[in-house]
Amino acid sequence: MLDDATSQVYYAQLVEEESTRTVMAALQEVIEQQGLCCSVYSDRASHFWVTTRAGEPVQSHRLTQGGRALEQLGIRLIPAYSPPARGRMERNYRTWQGRLPQELRRSQIRSLTEANQFLRQRYLAEFNQHLAVPASQPGTAFVPCRRPDLDWVFSLQHQRTVNQDNPVVLDRRVFQIQKTR
pLDDT tens digits, one per residue of 50-72: 888 777 788 888 888 999 999 99
pLDDT value for 171 = 85
How confident is the model at residue 26, as a pLDDT? 95
pLDDT value for 180: 78
Got the DSSP string for 59-84?
-TTS--HHHHHHHHTTPEEEE---HH
**In contact, 155 and 20? CB cutoff 8 Å:** no
pLDDT tens for each residue of 118-163: 999 999 999 999 989 998 888 888 999 999 999 999 999 988 888 8
Residues 6+ apart with CB under 8 A from 97: none
SS3 116: helix
Can you give the residue ranges of every domain in the chain? Answer: 20-153
- For residue 93, name the pLDDT band (cuts at 50, 70, 90): confident
- Per-range mean pLDDT, top range of 75-79, 93-97, 123-127, 149-153: 149-153
pLDDT number for residue 152 = 97
Query: Per-residue pLDDT for 48 more than 90?
Result: no
Domain at 20-153, CATH class: alpha beta
Helices (H) and strands (E) in the chain, counts: 6, 4
Measuring CA to CA, which residue among 3, 10, 90 is closest to residue 41?
3
